Structure 1
Amino acid sequence: MSRGGQGDRQRIKTAKGRKSSSIRWLQRQLNDPYVRRAQADGYRSRAAYKLTELDERFGFLKGCTRIIDLGIAPGGWAQVVRRQVPKARIVGIDLLPTDPIDGVIILEMDFMEEAAPETLREALDGEADLILSDMAANTVGHPQTDHLRTMGLVEAALDFATEILRPGGAFVAKVLAGGADHGLVAELKRHFTTVKHAKPPASRKGSSEWYVVAQGFKGRVAVTDEGDDEG
C-alpha cells in the first residue's frame, strides 16, 4: 500500500497473476467511499446506499409490512429494509446462494422458473406493499443484447408486481441506459399513479444503471389514465 501524494488512496501491492481488468476493479473497490462506508456500517454491498438514497427521495419503505426483494444476493437491500422497517415480512429470491439475514426469508431459485411466483406468494402470505428488483442479466458484452435481457427481467418483475401488490403499493426496479423504454413506461403508467426515473448518487457515474420508481398501484382492474414521468 502506498500513500505518498495520494491522501488516503490505496494501491494494490502486486499485480502478479492478475489481469489488468482485475487490478482496476480491485483498485476501484479499495478507493470507493461507499465500499468503505458499507464495511463500517455492516452492509454486505455498496448497493445498500442506492436503496437508502432512493428511499430518502421517494419514501416508499415507510409503512410497509410485506416486501419482496427480487435478486436479493448478496443481501444489501434486504439489510436496509430490515433496519428501516424491522417488523416487515421480507421475502427474497436469487439464483445465487445468499447468507442468512435475520428476519428475512430467502429462496434460492430462479425468479424466471414457472414455480417462482407462487412460491414467493406463499412465502409472503399476503399482498405486497413493495416489490424491489435489483435483477440484471449476466452480460455477454453486446450492449443491445445485454439491455434486452435485463429489460426482459424488469418486464417479468413488473408483471409479477401487478399480480401481488396491494392497491397503493410500489415497484422499484433497476433498468439500464437512461431508464425504461417507452413501452415499459406506458405499462408502468397504466398501473401506477406516478412513475419516476432516478440515478442515486451511490450508483457509479460510469455505470449504465438507472432505477424506475413506480408508486400508487391502481389495483388489478384495467386502467387507462397516465401518471407522470420526470424522465
Structure 2
Amino acid sequence: MAKNTSGRGQRDLRVKVKTARGRKLSSTLWLERQLNDPYVRRAKADGYRGRAAYKILELDDKFRFLVPGARVVDLGCAPGGWCQVAVKRVNALGEKKGKAVGTVLGVDLREIEPVAGAQTYALDFMEDDADAQVKEWLGGGADVVMSDMAAASSGHKQTDHLRIVALCEAAAYFAFDVLSEGGTFVAKVLAGGAEGELQKLLKQRFTKVVNVKPPASRSDSSEKFVVATGFRG
C-alpha cells in the first residue's frame, strides 16, 4: 500500500479548481470555495437544499423560536432549506409524538420544489393584500416571520447594503401585520451603517432586538442577522 509521504492528513487536503476557457476568475474562485466549504458538504450529507440551512439552525439553537406547534412564515423561501429546518423543529409532520404540530408556510416570487411538511406559494409579500392572504393560509397570526432574502448584487458595496436594508424593512413591516403578540422576527442584513433606523423601528415593536453572526455565515461576508423577540402587537 502506498504511504502518504506529504506529511499532511486527509483533512488538510484542499480542492483546487483550474480556470476553464470562458469561465471568469471570480466564478472559478466561487466554485473552489463551494467545493472546500464544510457546510456545503454537510448540507449534502444531511439532505438540506443549501448551506444556509445551518444559519437558521444555529440561530434557533441560540434563541429557541422554532418550537413545536409554532406557525412560521419564511419570506423568500427558495430554495427551501430554511423551510426544511422549520418543518422539523416545529413538528409540522407530527413526528414528535405528544408534541404540538406546527405550520410552515414559505413564500417566494417564484414557485419552488415542494418541501415535505411545508406549504409553499408563489407570492410577492409586498403586495397590498399579501398579509391577509398569508393569515388566511395560516388560519391566524404567525409566531415567527423569518427571512434570508438578499437583493440582487449590483457590485457596489454601499448600494447593496442600502438595498438589503430596504428589503429587510419591508419584511419587518410585513411581520408587524402578521405576527401574533409575543412573536419573533428574524432577518438577514448587511453591516454597513445604514441599518440604524431598522434597529430603532424594531426596538419600538419588540421587547428584545439583537444582532448575530452565526458560525455558518462565511467569515469574509458582511452579513449578520437581526433577531427580534417578544412582539408587542
For the criterion TM > 0.5, the same-fold answer is yes
Corresponding letter in the other structure for 1:31: N
Query: What residue is the counterpart of 2:109 in the other structure?
Result: 95
2:58 to 53, 56, 71: 53
Deviation (angstroms), 1:139 = 1.4
Q: How does 1:194-213 map to 2 (within 5 A)?
A: 194-213=208-227
* Higher-Rg member (1/2): 2
Query: What residue is the counterpart of 1:26 in the other structure?
Result: 31
Query: What residue is the counterpart of 1:77 in the other structure?
Result: 82
Show structure 1 runs of 5+ residues with no match. 220-231
For 1:95 and 1:193, the matched residues in 2 are separated by 31
Deviation (angstroms), 1:144 = 2.2
Corresponding letter in the other structure for 1:62: V
Query: Are residue 128 (structure 1) and residue 142 (structure 2) matched?
Result: yes
- Deviation track 1:188-229 (CA, whole Å, cap 9, x = no partner) reads 11111100000001000111111000001111xxxxxxxxxx
For 2:19 and 2:149, the matched residues in 1 are separated by 34
Corresponding letter in the other structure for 2:136: E
Give yes or no for contact 1:179–1:211 (8 Å, CA) kept in 2. no
Show structure 2 runs of 5+ residues with no match. 93-101
Deviation (angstroms), 1:180 = 6.8
- Alignment TM-score, normalising by the size of structure 2: 0.86
Deviation (angstroms), 1:17 = 3.0
Query: Are residue 111 (structure 1) and residue 125 (structure 2) matched?
Result: yes
For 1:25 and 1:89, the matched residues in 2 are separated by 35
* % identical equivalent positions: 55
Query: What residue is the counterpart of 1:229 in the other structure?
Result: none
2:41 to 36, 42, 54: 36
Corresponding letter in the other structure for 1:25: W
- Deviation track 1:1-57 (CA, whole Å, cap 9, x = no partner) reads xx9768332223662332111111110000000000000000000000000111111
Give me the CA root mean square deviation.
Answer: 2.0
For 1:68 and 1:179, the matched residues in 2 are separated by 28
SS at match of 1:159: helix
SS at match of 2:220: coil
SS at match of 1:68: strand
Give yes or no for contact 2:74–2:104 (8 Å, CA) kept in 1. yes
SS at match of 1:161: helix
Aligned residues: 217
Query: What residue is the counterpart of 1:226 in the other structure?
Result: none
How has the CA–CA distance of structure 1 residues 158 and 180 changed in structure 2, closer, same or farther, with 3 Å as cutoff? farther
How has the CA–CA distance of structure 1 residues 196 and 108 changed in structure 2, closer, same or farther, with 3 Å as cutoff? same
Give yes or no for contact 1:178–1:210 (8 Å, CA) kept in 2. no
How has the CA–CA distance of structure 1 residues 64 and 48 changed in structure 2, closer, same or farther, with 3 Å as cutoff? same
